[in-house]
Amino acid sequence: MIFILGGGTVLMRLKDFNFHNIRTFLEYFSMITITTFACWMVHGFLRLHEPKGVSKQLRPIVRIAAAMLVAFCLNYLSVIIIPSRFLFQDMVFHHTYADFLRIIIGAFFISMFCHIVWSSLAVNIVLQKTQLENEHLKQAHLRAQLLSLQQQISPHFLFNSLSTLKHIAHDKDTKDFVVQLSHVYRYLLNINEHQITKLVDELNFIDSYLYILYQRFEGDLKVQINIPEQYHNYLIPPLAIQLLIENAIKHNALSPETPLLIEIFIENETVTVKNIRQPKKYPVESTKLGLQNINERFLLLFDKQITIDNTDESFTVHLPVISHERYYH
């Protein structure tokens, strides 16, 4: 592109061409090429290292002015250094205002040419980047649509299967198990749309969840829940209590002789989940990520942290709850 500009300016001088001044043409071409290259580098440098303290609107003017200054200096030096016999007649410098104006105008056009080309390249890069981002967004949208479709099909399929299983089951225990399992799954699906839930809804879910656990552990597990009705409309992050029950079962031994006892009750406007410590013979390594996750949710939603009391006899977690009125006001 730089050579094209240099060649173009030389073509404008063809009327002055003869075999005696071919050196003049070569020097003229070299001078234009070097000047254009220098301006190109100035524009590129100032685009990569934008001057601090200069507004976005003034940056193009700064680049054009800086490149003009470089072009002016190079053109001025060239007409001073090169002997006049090797210059075209109208290029001989006589230190007049017209000579200075001619160099300034030439520097301006070269600088503007570089600015326009650089701007065109920048716009083209932005357009290509935008097109690529749009393509990525399109692919992500298609994947999201597919995932949404899969999520819609999966619950319907499961609920239909549970409904069919309920009808073909002959004994009452199997039917009750299917009903409670469907309640658990329905709650898990619904909470994806909510960050908080009423305590009564969480407790209803816990009842269904415990029904399934009792079928699994029979008499090895005992859970006592004592939450007065006056607290049922209080708010709590969903699955917080369930995760603590699961955590207690994971880290403690269960047997008919020493069933695991878990107590859930209200104490000073906190839901307290307490379990007797019965360490397993081969303890499960704890990452504490579950408790950390619960604490972060309470901190984010209620600006309160959970508290933990860990003794040799018991493990207790206090979950702060908040009334509906206080949360929304």
Instruction: Please write the tens of the pLDDT for every residue from 106-128.
Output: 788 888 888 888 888 888 888 99
Pick the most confident of 22-31, 164-173, 255-264: 255-264
| Total tally of structural domains belonging to the chain | 2
In a domain, 214, yes or no: yes
Label residue 53 left, alpha or beta by phi (over 0 means left) and psi (-120 to 50 means alpha): left
252 and 112 both lie in a single domain:
no
**307 neighbors 318 (Cβ within 8 angstroms):** yes
Where is pLDDT greater, at 90 or 284? 284
Same domain, 248 and 310: yes
| Model pLDDT, residue 63 | 85
CATH number of domain containing 240: 3.30.565
Query: Tell me, what amino acid is at 51?
Result: P
> Residue 192 is part of which domain span?
169-328
Kindly write down the DSSP assignment for every residue of 190-259, as one continuous string.
HGGG-S-EEHHHHHHHHHHHHHHHHHHHGGGEEEEEE--GGGTT-EE-TTHHHHHHHHHHHHB---SSS-
Separation CA 317–CA 223 (nearest Å): 15
Q: Residue 260: what pLDDT?
A: 92
Closest C-alpha to 290, from 240, 249, 254: 240
Write down the pLDDT at residue 89. Answer: 47
Report the candidate in 8, 60, 40 with the shortest Cα–Cα distance to residue 113. 40
Identify the residue with better confidence: 266 or 8: 266
pLDDT, one tens digit per residue, over 259-270 is 999 999 998 889
- The burial of 59, by beta-carbon neighbours within 10 Å (0-12 exposed, 13-18 middle, 19 or more buried), is given as middle
User: Cα–Cα–Cα angle for 45, 47, 51, nearest 5°?
Assistant: 90
Domain edge (last residue) among 136, 158, 180: 136
Same domain flag for 319 and 181: yes
Q: Is 261 helix (H, G, I), strand (E, B) or coil?
A: strand
CB 315 within 8 A of CB 260: no
pLDDT tens digits, one per residue of 235-261: 999 989 999 999 999 889 998 888 999
What was the pLDDT predicted at 184? 84
Query: pLDDT per residue over 154-164, tens digit each?
Result: 565 666 667 77
190 and 117 fall within a common domain? no
The confidence band for 28, taking pLDDT boundaries of 50, 70 and 90, is low
- Say yes or no: 186 and 250 in one domain: yes
Residue 224 has pLDDT above 90, yes or no: yes
Residue 11: per-residue pLDDT: 40
User: pLDDT tier at 3 (50, 70, 90 boundaries)?
Assistant: very low
- Looking at residue 96, its pLDDT comes to 66
What pLDDT score does 216 carry? 85
Q: Does residue 209 lie within any of the structural domains?
A: yes
Helices and strands, number each (H, E), in the chain: 9, 7
Q: Are both 185 and 113 inside the same structural domain?
A: no
Least confident range of 103-107, 141-145, 295-299: 141-145
225-236: b (≥16 Cβ within 10 Å) or e: eebeeebeebbb
* Predicted pLDDT of residue 146: 57
Same domain, 177 and 311: yes
The alpha carbon torsion through 80, 85, 86, 87 (nearest 10 deg) reads 70
Residue carrying the six token digits 């031994």: 253
Looking at residue 5, its pLDDT comes to 45
Question: Would you place residue 141 in the very low, low, confident or very high pLDDT band (cuts 50, 70, 90)?
Answer: confident
Q: Are strands 221-226 and 260-266 parallel, antiparallel or unpaired?
A: parallel
Within-domain flag for 105: yes
Lowest mean pLDDT among 65-69, 201-205, 273-277: 65-69
Query: Could you give the CA distance from residue 54 to residue 6 in angstroms, rounded to a whole number?
Result: 32
Most confident of 86-95, 187-196, 228-237, 282-291: 228-237
Do residues 131 and 173 both lie within one domain?
no
Angle at 229 between CA 223 and CA 230, to 5 degrees: 130
The predicted model gives 3-32 an average pLDDT of: 52
Judge contact between 291 and 308, C-beta under 8 A.
Answer: yes
pLDDT digits (tens, 9 = 90+) for 54-89: 787 888 888 888 888 888 787 777 666 554 444 444
Q: Are residues 79 and 221 in the same domain?
A: no
Task: Please compute the mean of the pLDDT values over residues 19-30 and round it to a whole number.
Answer: 58
Say whether both 103 and 227 belong to one domain. Answer: no
Give the whole-angstrom CA distance, residue 185 versus residue 189. Answer: 6
Whole-prediction pTM: 0.53
Per-residue pLDDT band for 12 (boundaries 50, 70, 90) equals very low
Q: Can you point out the beta strands (E) in the chain?
A: 197-198, 221-226, 235-236, 260-266, 270-276, 307-310, 314-320
CA dihedral (290, 217, 226, 203) positive or negative: positive
Q: Which residues, 6 or more positions from 119, have their beta carbon under 8 angstroms from its beta carbon?
A: 60
Same domain, 204 and 324: yes
Give domain status of residue 153, yes or no: no
Q: For residue 278, what are the CA distances in angstroms to 209, 213, 261, 314?
A: 22, 18, 10, 8
Please state the φ and ψ torsions of residue 122, each to the nearest 5 degrees. -65, -45
- Distance separating alpha carbons of residues 78 and 102, to the nearest angstrom: 14
Instruction: Examine the domain organization and report whether 260 and 190 are in the same domain.
Output: yes
Average pLDDT, the chain: 79
Read off the pLDDT band of 212 (50, 70, 90). confident
